[in-house]
Amino acid sequence: MTKVTQDLQEALSYVKSGQTILVGGFGLVGAPLTLIEGLTKKDVKDLTIVSNNLGEAGKGLGILLNQNKIRKGIGSYFTSNRDVGAKYQRGEIELEILPQGTLAESLRAGGAGLGGYYTTTGVGTELAIGKEERNIDGVNYILEKAIRADVAIIRAHKADTLGNLVYYKTARNFNPLMATAAKRVIVEVDEIVESGELDPEEIVTPHLYIDTIIQAQQILTKVGVVSK
């Protein structure tokens, strides 16, 4: 069976209300904007979104936020989108803040099949409240749980028809980690090539992690998000 589809809603058919969704990107860079647009047109709600941030005001995940489809956000940097703070103050969304390195390591741990790990980051701060603390060799650590999700939607530069992925520069942010940490992984790419056309040395995400591939229709330029 081919992993490639041109039907956006078919690609997103695995996304259901109440699920936890990993969304790649840093700001809008490397974000799966086509798949996010598809979610804005899909009848889902009560989503938990794990992403560095929740898009920008009226862009990317910011649209999904304003549609009241997000119940909880887990990420590192929410303040670039003022709509997030406003909704939080009104009690319309839950937020869980993780230091950026902790977010990345929690995803890596989830992809590696670990239950969690100990870190010094956040010890003695409000981020440690309610978390197990342990002294190891005279140093205090807190336990951070691994992150896994029902679905990951990510962005890459190229894919072959098997699902091997190549990324472009800083778009290789959370995307490769998220590809390992979900039950179902959907990727949008700029270009799809035949199996064997990619240099094995440039492949970052092996095809075994990828379930569905779709051609990107939304791109980020200096003037904003535009359609191809």
* 126 burial type by CB count under 10 A (0-12 exposed, 13-18 middle, 19+ buried): exposed
Domain 8-117+148-227: top CATH class? alpha beta
- Confidence (pLDDT) at 223: 42
How far is the C-alpha of 136 from the C-alpha of 48, rounded, in Å? 33
In this structure, the number of other CB atoms found within 10 A of the CB of residue 206 comes to 14
Residue of higher predicted confidence among 223 and 208? 208
- For residue range 14-30, list pLDDT tens digits in order: 999 999 999 999 988 99
Mean pLDDT of all residues belonging to the chain: 94
Residues 6 or more apart in contact with residue 161 via CB below 8 angstroms: 2, 3, 4, 192, 193, 194, 195, 213
How far is the C-alpha of 86 from the C-alpha of 148, rounded, in Å? 28
* 7 burial type by CB count under 10 A (0-12 exposed, 13-18 middle, 19+ buried): exposed
Residue with tokens 């290789």: 172
pTM comes to 0.93
Domain boundaries, the chain: 8-117+148-227
- For residue range 134-192, list pLDDT tens digits in order: 999 999 999 999 999 999 999 999 999 999 999 999 989 999 999 999 999 999 999 99
What value does the mean pLDDT take over residues 121-125?
96
Residue with tokens 């699902």: 163
